[in-house]
Homo-oligomer: A and B are copies of this chain.
Amino acid sequence: MIKAGIIGSTGYAGNELVRLLMGHPEVEVVWYGSRSYVDEKYANIYRNMFKLIEDKCLDDNIEKLSKEVDVIFTATPQGYLAGVLTEDILSNTKVIDLSADYRIKDVATYEKWYGITHKSPQFIEEAVYGLCEINRDKVKGARLIANPGCYTTCSILTAYPLVRDGLIDVDTLIVDAKSGTSGAGRGAKVANLYCEVNENIKAYGVASHRHTPEIEEQLGYACGGDVVINFTPHLIPMNRGILATEYASLKKVNLPDGSVGYPDEDMIRDCYKKYYKDEYFIRLLDKGMNPETRWVEGSNFVDINFVIDERTHRVIMMGALDNICKGAAGQAVQNMNILFGFKEQEGLELVPMC
């Protein structure tokens, strides 16, 4: 049994962490951090927890916290962790950061896309990008995990095998992503009011969204080169879920019969299987099934599939996940499981609820 603390426990990702950890047999949450609700009962804010949690919210004090727990989750705004992290903290405890502070290796890139000066670049190098299915081995033994973003997890996993094996031309990769509104956070903004979001769809951050360089960096590692993509997020009137629809031109490759040509359905499917067949949380759907967000709601699954368009020689890849679970808190717990040597799906065998 380990002890965990959450800084930012009253945001949407924070509350999902709480929900998941309550069902985890190896973890006890002992610190419900929330700058906005200090001294209020957690269950007064999130009444789903009524009678289930008696704790009150605590103010941010990561140094103190680091001495009391085995792992800290920071579900905090950009820049928070970078502003307070110290060597002491990292020598006391593991830190799993759900913000973007340590996701991008190049400080200049981070500062440009986020518009923030990075306060502790000295920890970037050692931080491990916690996309479990791809970086599992590096996660083991790390002190600081940069937990990937929701759009990023979905976008990368959907394309990764084809990028890695060179079946698509990465220069043609376009990611058109659609997210439920919980991704916008629990801040009181007019743009996220019910009446502004309901009966509406819009793109935002076109050609400028902060998740872009994160996707590019990781896919760059996969193919061993620079990747520059288009990524367009959209806001959808639903609470949870991300769907990424991704387009890329197929590359001519050596075919099994010795000729050169475009990979077919079987080759693409085999490529996905090669990387994902043993991954519990990645479900490669049967041919003809398009991923839908509702089938993964409340779970840590990513549903993936693709369609080849013979007319354009493009492959349309689709991935769906729950942005708050696999796209945030679920993956954080998965990282924790790896870090502490628990069974990777411990506490995460959640049946999606539709």
Contact = CB atoms under 8 A, between A and B. Distances in A.
A206 B316 CA distance: 8
A348 to B, nearest CB: 13
A15 interface: yes
Interface in A132-159: none
Interface string A181-200: 11000111110111111111
User: How many monomers of this chain does the complex have?
Assistant: 4
Q: What interface size band does chain A fall in?
A: 35 or more
Interface stretch (A45-53, A63-71, A80-88, A89-97): A45-53
A196 to B, nearest CB: 8
Contacts of A326: none
Nearest to A52: B351
Contact of A199 (B174, B201, B241, B308): B241
B289 A47 contact: yes
A71 to B, nearest CB: 20
Given A186-B195, A195-B239, A206-B290, 8 more contacts: A19-B351, A19-B353, A48-B351, A178-B201, A188-B190, A199-B293, A200-B294, A207-B309
A255 interface: no
A264 to B, nearest CB: 14
Contacts of A178: 178, 201, 234
A344 interface: no
Given A193-B194, A228-B312, A298-B298, A285 B50 contact: yes
Nearest to A16: B353
A194 B203 contact: no
24 contacts: A46-B295, A48-B297, A48-B351, A48-B353, A50-B283, A176-B176, A181-B193, A182-B195, A186-B193, A188-B188, A188-B193, A194-B194, A198-B198, A198-B237, A199-B239, A200-B292, A202-B291, A202-B293, A203-B245, A207-B308, A207-B311, A228-B312, A230-B314, A237-B238
A23 interface: yes
Sorted nearest first, the 10 A-B pairs with minimum C-beta distance are: A48-B352, A207-B309, A200-B294, A202-B292, A194-B197, A176-B176, A47-B295, A206-B307, A188-B188, A181-B194
Interface string A215-235: 000000000000011101010
A230 B247 contact: yes
Contacts of A237: 194, 198, 236-238
A354 B174 contact: no
A98 to B, nearest CB: 17
A110 interface: no
Q: Which of A240, A318, A354 has the most CB of B within 10 A?
A: A354
Contact of A243 (B193, B203, B283): B203
B234 A245 contact: yes
Nearest to A191: B188
A245 B174 CA distance: 11
